[in-house]
Amino acid sequence: MENLQLIQKIAHGSEAALREVYGVFGNIVFNTALSYLRDRAEAEEITQDVFLEVYQSAKTFEGKSSVRTWIYRITVNKCLDKLRYLKRKKRFALVKSLFKPDTTEIQHDAEDFEHPGITLERQEYAKILFKALKRLPPQQRTAYILSFIEELPRKEVAEVMQLSVKAVESLLQRAKINLRSTLEKYYPDRRI
Amino acid sequence: MKNIIQNSEKEQWKDNVLSSLEDMKRTEAPPFLFTRIEARIRLYEMPTHLAANERVPVLKLAFGVACFVLLCGINIWIVSQTASPNTVQQYQTSSAQAAPILETADFDLY
């Protein structure tokens, strides 16, 4: 069955149709969330949120973009919201720890996140890249993740981000420059 | 010469890092994740459940009530202060006390 028909069925409350959509896009959503959040538990939560949102807003889906683009857009927005929330929470926990030094609430970043889909010999490099990606501004990070990790064509990235293809190209260009300058700091000093 | 070699090594290292995600395989989502999504849908469809955009956050509500109470309190206090007979009497007394001083001041030219 076509994705659009499935969305129409979901709009009428069909959970079977939602299961089918999950079958097609579940892994895509989970992997995108994993690239943003670098934490399996958080990625699982985002996947749940995304499919709940699909179920709730299927009625409002007008079909102007493809179902895949729509689901990607929901995922990206949920991930960015979550990152903002985690940042706020971390800041609050830090302030709280000044008054209560024995608090264990400070959130630690998943600095040593190992993506399960990467080969062992590239794992060390990938860890550094994920660490550097975290430092990019949200739009550049989104463009980079969708283009180079999710391997979407530029046109689709532009649709997901609701920008022009040129704007996406420019974001990618800046992302690469910023990544290179961030990597400068992580370069291991081999003279020692 | 040494610097050039070091720089090219560094650039090579950066290229390796940037290409480390190429040919990355997709990870499988946990097997029972959809069951959890279904459970959340059940919760959402419960008659007592309000959609996220219809819900009023407790903190915002408490803040609103606190602001309202504070505003009312300040208003009541100001009204009671201006309307109380003590204030009028106090005003009259203070003006009466001020009169002799003025009188003295009138004759005390040097």
Contact (CB<8Å) B33/A26: yes
Residue B90 binned pLDDT confidence (cut-offs 50, 70, 90)? low
Interface test with A, best of B10, B34, B45, B46 (most A CBs within 10 A): B34
Burial class (CB in 10 A: 0-12, 13-18, 19+), B99: exposed
Extract the tokens encoding A77. Answer: 């927005």
For domain A1-110, the question of CATH label 3.40.50.720 is answered with: no
Same fold across A1-110 and A112-192: no
For domain A112-192, the question of CATH label 1.10.510.10 is answered with: no
Question: How high is the pLDDT of residue A168?
Answer: 96
Residue B89 binned pLDDT confidence (cut-offs 50, 70, 90)? low
Q: How many beta-carbon contacts under 8 Å exist across A and B?
A: 91
Question: How high is the pLDDT of residue B69?
Answer: 96
List pLDDT tens digits, range B54-75. Answer: 666 788 889 999 999 999 999 9
Question: How high is the pLDDT of residue A162?
Answer: 94
AA letter at A30: F
Q: What would you report as the CA-atom Rg of chain A, rounded to the nearest whole angstrom? A: 19
- Shortest Cα distance, chain B CAs vs residue A48, angstroms: 5
Question: How high is the pLDDT of residue B52?
Answer: 58
Domain boundaries, chain A: 1-110, 112-192
Contact (CB<8Å) B10/A129: no
List pLDDT tens digits, range A93-105. Answer: 878 777 776 655 5
Contact (CB<8Å) A18/B24: no
Please state, in angstroms and rounded to a whole number, the distance separating the CA atoms of residues A43 and A35.
Answer: 9
- Shortest Cα distance, chain A CAs vs residue B55, angstroms: 15
List pLDDT tens digits, range A63-78. Answer: 889 999 999 999 999 9
Q: Return the percent helix, strand and coil in chain B, to nearest 5.
A: 70, 0, 30
Please state, in angstroms and rounded to a whole number, the distance separating the CA atoms of residues A160 and A162.
Answer: 6
Strands (E), A16-158: none
What spatial distance separates the first Cα and last Cα of chain A, rounded to whole Å?
61
Cα torsion through A75, A81, A83, A87, rounded to 10: -170
Residues of chain A whose beta carbon is less than 8 angstroms from a beta carbon of chain B are: 15, 18-19, 22, 26-31, 34, 40, 44, 47-48, 51-52, 55-56, 115-119, 122, 125-126, 128-129, 132, 148-149, 176, 179-180, 183-184, 186-187, 190
Question: How high is the pLDDT of residue B6?
Answer: 74
Report the length, in residues, of chain B: 110
How big is the CA angle at A173 (ends A157 and B14), to the nearest 5 degrees? 110
For residue B38, pLDDT over 90 is answered with yes
- Shortest Cα distance, chain A CAs vs residue B67, angstroms: 23
Are A42 and A81 in contact by the 8 Å Cβ rule? The answer is: no
Q: Shortest CA distance to A176 belongs to which of A124, A136, A119, A117?
A: A136
Domain boundaries, chain B: 30-64
Low-confidence ranges of chain A (pLDDT < 50): 191-192
Contact (CB<8Å) A125/B17: yes
Which residues in chain A are contacts of B23 at CB distance < 8 A?
119
Question: How high is the pLDDT of residue A115?
Answer: 77
